[in-house]
Amino acid sequence: MSKRFAYDVIIAGAGPAGAMCALACARAGLRTSLLEANAASSHGKTIAIEVEHSAFAACDLPEPGGDEIAFHARGAKTMAPSGKFAFEIAPDPAFPVKQEVLTRRLLSYAKRDGAEIQYGSRVDEPLLDRNCVRGVRVHTAGGKSREMTARVVVDATGYASAIVRRLPAECGIDFVDREEDRVIAEARLYRIDRRAVERAARDGRFAPEYTYFRLGTQGAYSTLGFMISLERETAFLLSGFKIDQLPPTPGEALDRLASELGCLTEPFHTGSGMIRIRRASLRLVGDGFATVGEAASMVVPMGASGVTSGMLAGRALGQHLGQVLKRGGLVSTKDLWPWCAAYQRGRGAVLASYDANRRVLETLDPQRELETLATSGVMTGEDMQRTFLVLPLRQSFSTLGARLRGGLRNPLLMAKLAPGFFRVMQVEAYWRRFPLRWDEPAFVAWKKTAERLLP
């Protein structure tokens, strides 16, 4: 390590993405500092989120268990905007985990393997040498400001994107934050009245241990869901709406849902937050800098969660930094580009196609067109299953018959959807041609077409 720098890597933000990046950096033998604005006692989102089963093996981590698991679901039932049953998914392909418990586990691994974790350290701004990031200015809990230097700085600050949004245009990383691409979500865990749940189940109002999702409750891109478990004597409630679909707020929607269910007592685990569901930038790296996780909008638009993406990308980034920094010298965009290209050509391409699909669905009227889409057979449980697993949007042979029959019965809807679905495939294919090596003219040319395909 050069004497000019106090650290090899500084990572801002100790969420799942930052923690995984710190763990991978520490395992690679890098001197790593992980900065977190919150105190250790209050750190971590108190929200239940779903993490793909495969993520833990891919990150070389034990699967979650015990108190880390929020609930166990036997399957998921999807409802149309009217509340009519549409289709079922079974079993749930993701672990519903408590995010703050998962984060604490990841941080314990990172600390064990040598990463330094500094709580109560808020990053105010990047330190620049011309257009190169060479560290950060940090505001500590005691009210003091200090400078910290590193060969590479990673922004993993989540929705806040505390560093990347403050980089000057000369650094080459454009940052876009549009109100129409923001979702506000809230999740709650409740205690239940067991006898009331059993009565409701006998009356056929719902089946315990199954997750229910109602689509299009406040516009095409909105959802309201719940799962009631007799096994754990808890209920999980979730709502998510785009900013332009308010009011009511997600919290107000959950209050109403809890009242309608009539078998819940008090909430004991609540979390809410803002999520950016459109990419913030197409270029994730610069000289001495990278951005990962929700700070880079690595979010699955359908589920509005970036935890799995952040974990996978954070680990890959840490491993790549281990290789790059061992060579010595300053770290350039060219050095970091292979990680950026691998992400964009892989998971990034799938998420870009999901964003294109999201925009198609937003053109539909929920009470008429989205209702028809969900109940006619054109949309199936396979579509939802693939988005939970973050797989490319494809249609298997087994579902083609139902889709064809539904399409023939609704030709006007299919005529409206067809151009959009073609764009979904086009976007995925184009993202997989993201430039493999850093060549600024080539990237600028690629980006021009990408922004036309997915503004």
* Alpha-carbon gap, residue 168 to 172, rounded angstroms: 8
Bridge partners for 238 per DSSP: 187, 225
pLDDT per 10-residue tile (average), the chain, 455 residues = 79 96 97 93 71 91 89 87 88 80 95 96 93 94 89 95 94 89 90 95 93 87 90 91 87 94 91 85 95 92 80 98 92 97 96 93 90 92 86 88 92 92 95 97 96 94
For residue 1, the model assigns a pLDDT of: 39
For residue 140, the model assigns a pLDDT of: 85
For residue 352, the model assigns a pLDDT of: 95
Positive or negative, the CA dihedral 109, 112, 115, 116 is: positive
Protein fold of 7-61+100-179+277-348: FAD/NAD(P)-binding domain (3.50.50)
* Alpha-carbon gap, residue 334 to 342, rounded angstroms: 13
Q: Where are the domains of the chain?
A: 7-61+100-179+277-348, 181-275, 352-430
HSE toward the beta carbon, residue 311, CA cutoff 13 A: 22
**Nearest residue to 244 (alpha-carbon basis) of 295, 188, 298, 184:** 184
Angle at 270 between CA 265 and CA 274, to 5 degrees: 140
What's the distance, CA 202 to chain centroid? 37
222-229 β-sheet, strand order: 85-89, 75-79, 210-215, 222-229, 234-242, 182-192, 264-276
For residue 304, the model assigns a pLDDT of: 60
* Alpha-carbon gap, residue 126 to 164, rounded angstroms: 9
- Please name the helix (run of DSSP H) or strand (run of DSSP E) that holds residue 16, with its range, or none: helix 16-27
Protein fold of 181-275: D-Amino Acid Oxidase; Chain A, domain 2 (3.30.9)
**Nearest residue to 13 (alpha-carbon basis) of 284, 314, 217, 271:** 314
For residue 2, the model assigns a pLDDT of: 47
